[in-house]
Amino acid sequence: MKRNRMINRFNKLFAGFVVLSTLIMAGCGDGKGPIYTDTLNSGTIHISVDEAFKPVIDSQIKVFESQKPNAKIIVHYKPEAECLRDLNEDSTRLVIVTRGLKDDEVKTLAAKLSFPPTFGLLAYDAIAVIVNNQVRDTLFTMEDIRGMAKGISGYKYKVLLDGTTATSTVRYVADSLLKGQPMGANVVAANSSEGVIDYVSKNTDAIGLIGVSWIGDKDDSTQLRFLQKVKIAEIRCNGCSTTYVKPVQYNIAAHKYPMVRPLYYILKENYEGLGSGFKNFLVNVDKGQKIFYRSYLLPARSMFEVRPMQITE
């Protein structure tokens, strides 16, 4: 009898262990990643964003959280290369930068995550050229800008960037503007886009290259203060012989302004979590895309038509 009671007790303990193990495995999924408790409309996540887009992403998050009171997005603004490195961090759910993923990057992340990340276009941004308010030179060609970045131009300006390495603006200058050729010794680094504006506002011998979302929105009181300190230069337009254009939406859409870059999201979710909810908001024509439009970026997901028009008296 005693032996039978011990066997029954062991069987009960074993059965309880099996049930407990099953519940744990069900809660952990395949055991390869953390348990997420967020949904499309609630929870807390961390995202990394290229510092060049702080004004517009701050606006996006403010509106999103006002519409989703149970959602909290903690944003970390960094140079682009650091944002891309954060894709390897479990805590980072979404990244917003100026390029998508390469095939080998998708494969590497898919192996780590056990599912492929997704990415897509959000908007198009223009790189604006700013000068001190006291400077008369406000019309430049791309040859002028390229020559100044190489340090071989007749213009004796320091060229201010939002860093010396790792930022999207530095990458644009190195890859798209200089095609891999070295930057001149006159290229100077500021700590941020706001630092570029501040330096140019105090020095007549400097020009700055920054994202248009920092100085394009004339309805933003902060940007109005910036525009009291500096002027936006005009660049000779693509396909035009004499016309100079500013980095505004029409000129981006019509391919007239020559310095344009895309803005992408990169998402690490294989379920309907808060990262997906915020991404859905950003690409929604009536929500996030309108905020990009108000911030003077060109929305990538909404129709933007250029129509011929005649004015008759």
The CATH number of the domain holding residue 65 is 3.40.190.10
Asked if the structure places residue 153 within a domain, the reply is: yes
Sort 36 into a burial class: Cβ within 10 Å, 0-12 / 13-18 / 19+: middle
How far, in Å, CA of 219 to CA of 141, rounded?
Answer: 29
* Structural domains counted in the chain: 2
Q: What is the pLDDT along the chain (313 residues), one digit of tens a residue?
A: 444 554 455 444 444 443 333 333 334 444 455 677 899 999 999 999 999 999 999 999 999 999 999 999 999 999 999 999 999 999 999 999 999 999 999 999 999 999 999 999 999 999 999 999 999 989 999 999 999 999 999 999 999 998 767 889 999 999 999 998 999 999 998 988 889 999 999 999 999 999 988 886 666 666 667 777 899 999 999 877 779 999 989 999 999 999 999 999 999 999 999 999 999 999 999 999 999 998 889 999 864 444 444 444 4
The helix-helix angle for 274-283 and 54-67 (nearest 10°) equals 110
Tell me: do 178 and 256 sit in the same domain.
yes
Tell me: do 140 and 236 sit in the same domain.
yes
Name the one residue in this structure whose structure tokens are 């320091």: 158
Domain that holds residue 194: 126-260
Tokens matching residue 191: 């700590």
> Are 47 and 58 contacting, i.e. CB atoms less than 8 angstroms apart?
no
137-174 b/e (C-beta count within 10 Å ≥ 16 → b): eeebeeebbbbbbbeebeeebbbbbbbeebbbbbbbbb
